[in-house]
Amino acid sequence: MWIFSILPKFLSIILLQLSMKQGDFRPYRSQFDIDVQVINEELIEKRKMEIEKKLKTGTTTVGLVCKDGVVLAADKRATMGLFVANKNAEKLHLIQSHVWMTIAGSVADAQYLIEILRAESNVFKLTSEKPMTAKAIATYLSRILNYYKGYFQVGLIIGGYGSEGPALFQLGAYGSIIPEKITAIGSGSPYAIGLLEAQWHENLTVDEGIKIAAAAVRSSIIRDVFTGNGIDVVAIRKDSYEQKFFGIETDPLTILNSPENKT
């Protein structure tokens, strides 16, 4: 029966929930747990500097809202200082089929947060019999980040499509949450945001947005040594999502502005 096929997954979610303290966002780690009460101003400033350094030395992630969906894009390069540690890094992550997240900063911190969001949104879906919205997931994540006061050295973008239409949020390491129409995070963001602002408009379609997002990341690859090795894109529509990959040889804007794409 179908019930037996979902039982292992359901039990794993319940066990994860039981391992977390009620009303808290921290998994139980006994003596290795973090006491946020002992965080002082000196430690906060140190963490701010660490976060700024991480976000300035690796990654370009972008997001934009279209009239029929949301588009997220990121490069494929992961760095450790000046060393290219990975040429095929995954920086676009599925939380639910209608909500995705981009990551910049510490990979380990981001992976931990991704698993928490997946588990919590699955539990919400099982108990409420409806999906958790992108806004609710982003708000939940912002509470975790604010609670830890910069412990997670990340810069994140959450995008999704729900009952209220397409939504896009930028989240900082201290829990700030900002709704956006266009956004970029990472070392290559100054180059990407300029192209996004020049090309974005209210009536942009997802098909156009895919090419603009890819072109924005490509502009960072050209100028930012910490960004490179290709471009991943995900487009989230009302009832589906689509993933694409672009190499850096062809400018996606050239495709967008070609005669066959003009009406």
CA atoms of 15 and 66, how far apart (whole Å): 38
Q: Alpha helices, DSSP H only, in the chain?
A: 2-18, 41-56, 107-128, 134-148, 189-199, 206-223, 252-256
Tokens 């040429």 locate to 87
Q: Do the Cβ atoms of 77 and 229 come closer than 8 Å?
A: yes
What secondary structure letter does DSSP report for 61? E
Residues annotated catalytic, as ranges:
59
CA atoms of 244 and 91, how far apart (whole Å): 13
CA atoms of 58 and 225, how far apart (whole Å): 8
